[in-house]
Structure 1
């Protein structure tokens, strides 16, 4: 199957890039079967972003090989690295290949596979981790999985810039700031102003979701008038508008306690949420995506979390690898 390299302005997600790297590692294995080759081709045809990611990762791999071969004994060094990757476990091999691709000086891989925000941010977390920080004014900042934040505090301004992911902010007022400036949180789609209370900010590619747990928050976006969000309310914020959201099927901020708390949540949506806390592919067949579940699930071990699902739903887990998990209907 021949494809010309993608030359448009597509920017595949980090998850799609990692999938492309996984397929490359499988095909580079000398034991790769005709079935693996066929499945890789099916994956590439499934979505334009898949083919785009494949071509770019492939071109980076070729470019890197040429760079090695330009050095004395470079070809031997690259072959040794490839052979080492084949002998390694999949996680270690992905780490090695990703590191090599980043070393190839391609900005899009540096951004999407190993996000530059996490290298330069004041606060950051990796996939599956969450952290808590005390800010200079006494406010508390908690970062969810795969998130990055910068701060800009001075005598006249308190600003938190969310560059990626999700945060839980607990505003501090009182002795440290007798007449405090508002605590500002900027995101891709606007600015939030918190005077008191606790609120969650989750930045997606096309919108930012704001959920107020305590107190109130003022929302401002370039295309919408200011809106005050009260405790118990959630809003979706874009550059053009701010829309109230119905009562969520997942408790906002429960992740700060290491939990996912659901209320009549679709299985497909639940798995999409769990996938944020683990690497690899996690999905379910479409005929069970609409099954509903409610409960409290611990995030510290997502494999144990997934093992609970067949106890409450008519599903079974299929592990093709530790990083490729599918839920199917239990026959």
Structure 2
């Protein structure tokens, strides 16, 4: 098998390339800005690679939009009532959000082929491992499995996993993320890996955090109902979440007084595109049980319980504002 992987720009370079592309789209006749962009592209090979990747993916997205009758008209209509400059920003923003999604697909989609188990956005998966352990993957997640007579190791490459394990065996069940190493002693626990840290939440039983070590150089024991935030240098107790741990495994989000902006960020993990709200309603609180199989139906419920209204600029750009 050919294991060569096409070079990928860093996420930070991609963000900068998208920023430059947006600025140039709205200021095509500005030679100074074009020169500054050229200087940025030439400053590092990663910059030029990110620029070429973003331009190629924008062209791909534009080609797909052109193939959909009325797509560009729909985008134009969504910007009606705005000034020309604001309309350009809206339309460019829609295009670039799509580009960011395609960049993300290009940078991480290969993991679905190279990792042992993976899920796409909005997909959940449950499998039973050779030792009887139940492994459930949340949306946009990937793991590698290393099971043999010498070890039982689950490496969480991306996303979130819910693990249900039996009593201790001769070889420990280990879960590894980029931030730490965890041993499932018995019971059920969730491991969610973000860019800055990994959140460990124990539903039942016990889990030992082997890395990083505690203050006395010993493993940290985490019991049912407890959560920890784990970084490469520390593991600290975390405040309880305002949603049920692991409810996603049953296709649900169960909230208790959750902020609206946090709720939308959570729902946004299960759909493509932009989902957000205006600042004046971000701290509205939400409690309830919501089904994940159709996020559009889920969002349609919100105006029935909160003083908000939905605004669809496109299928992939949804915002909430305070109702009139």
Question: What is the TM-score when the length of structure 1 is the normalising length?
Answer: 0.71
Q: Is the 8 A contact 1:141 1:170 kept in 2?
A: yes
1:146 equivalent among 125, 132, 140: 140
1:320 deviation in Å? 0.3
Q: Is the 8 A contact 1:221 1:238 kept in 2?
A: no
Write out aligned runs for 1:97-246 (5 A).
Answer: 109=103, 113-173=107-167, 179-222=169-212, 224=214, 225-246=218-239
Write out aligned runs for 1:1-331 (5 A).
Answer: 11-12=11-12, 37=26, 58-60=51-53, 85-88=65-68, 109=103, 113-173=107-167, 179-222=169-212, 224=214, 225-331=218-324
Classify the secondary structure of the residue corresponding to 1:167: strand
How big is each residue's C-alpha offset from its partner over 1:193-231, in whole Å with a ceiling of 9 and x where there is no partner? 012100000000000000101100001223644211100
Classify the secondary structure of the residue corresponding to 1:276: helix
1:234 deviation in Å? 0.7
How big is each residue's C-alpha offset from its partner over 1:272-300, in whole Å with a ceiling of 9 and x where there is no partner? 00000000000000010000011100000
**Structure 1 unaligned runs (5+)?**
1-8, 28-35, 39-50, 66-77, 103-108
Change (3 A) 1:117 1:64: closer
Q: Is the 8 A contact 1:125 1:143 kept in 2?
A: yes
How big is each residue's C-alpha offset from its partner over 1:64-111, in whole Å with a ceiling of 9 and x where there is no partner? 99xxxxxxxxxxxx99x9656512377xxx9xx97xx99xxxxxx577
Q: Is the 8 A contact 2:174 2:184 kept in 1?
A: yes
**Structure 2 unaligned runs (5+)?**
1-8, 28-39, 72-94
Change (3 A) 1:329 1:13: farther
> Would you say how many aligned residue pairs link Structure 1 and Structure 2?
268
Structure 2 CA distance for aligned equivalents of residues 64 and 169 of structure 1: 36
Question: What is the TM-score when the length of structure 2 is the normalising length?
Answer: 0.73
RMSD: 3.6
Change (3 A) 1:214 1:205: same
Classify the secondary structure of the residue corresponding to 1:250: coil
1:121 deviation in Å? 0.6
Structure 2 CA distance for aligned equivalents of residues 150 and 166 of structure 1: 13
